[in-house]
Structure formats: C-alpha cells, structure tokens
Amino acid sequence: MDVNFINFQSHGDQRGSLVSIERNKNIPFDVRRIYYIFDTKSGVHRGFHAHKKLKQIAVVLKGSCRFILDNGSEKVDLLLDSAEKGLLIESFIWREMYQFSEDCILLVIADSEYDEDDYIRNYDEFKSAVLSNI
C-alpha cells in the first residue's frame, strides 16, 4: 500500500533545530486539533481503530515508535524516528502503534475536532466498511 511521508524542512544552525508546520504550506489540510502521546509504558500497543473521515499527520518529536497501517487488504509496518518526517494517515486506515521508546513523544496533527462517532474500533466492522466503500 502507498505510504505518504511529509518531509519537514529543519531550520538548523549551531544552536539546534527548528521545524515549522503551517496549514496549507507544508501540510495538506487546515489544522483543527493537535495532541501528543508520551510516557507510554513498556510493551504497550495503542490504536486499534480507523477513522471514517479524520486525516492526521503523526510525527515523533523525540524517541521512536512503530506504526502498523492497514487499508483492509494490505499492511505496512513503519518506524517513526525523526522529528523531520510526518506520516500522513488518511481515513479508513486501521492503525496500531507499538514499540514506543521510553522517551517517545508522538505528536499528532488532525484536520478535525475529537469525535468518538468518527472511530471504527471493531476490525470486522472496519473490513465491511472498506469493502462497501470500494
């Protein structure tokens, strides 16, 4: 399956690095929400859902974690370990995150406000929804 990474330009100098994320400039949507996941306990797996409409970009600000993305027929297993690389996650993609390093800070930029009704948290339901969308 296709995976879309967005490379964020880092404005680095002798002081360190700075990345700027600006709507409709280096991300393909208007930002409506950001959240971040940190202090994840060892061995924890998160996610296990898809979204009906939501589009998001995930970027690890510190440390690393892995994402499994599944479009209902194919899966990819990706390592996120760079603050200069955003993973674009479209709607109707089942996701699982795991192998969080102890220091991992995972920032997620979303195109909509939080809405529990947008979640598909049952894998069989996800598969049927994908099939009926084809």
Q: Does 108 bind ligand T46 (CB under 6 A)?
A: yes
Q: Does 95 bind ligand T46 (CB under 6 A)?
A: yes
Least Å distance, CB 25 to ligand T46, is 23
In the residue annotation, 49 being an active-site residue is answered as yes
Size of the site for ligand T46 (CB under 6 A): 10
Of residues 115 through 134, those in contact with ligand T46 by CB under 6 A are: none
Q: What does the alpha-carbon distance between residue 50 and residue 62 come to, in Å, rounded to a whole number?
A: 25
Of residues 17 through 56, those in contact with ligand T46 by CB under 6 A are: 33, 35, 37, 46-47, 56
Active-site positions read: 49
Residues at the contact surface with ligand T46, assessed by CB under 6 A: 33, 35, 37, 46-47, 56, 58, 95, 108, 114
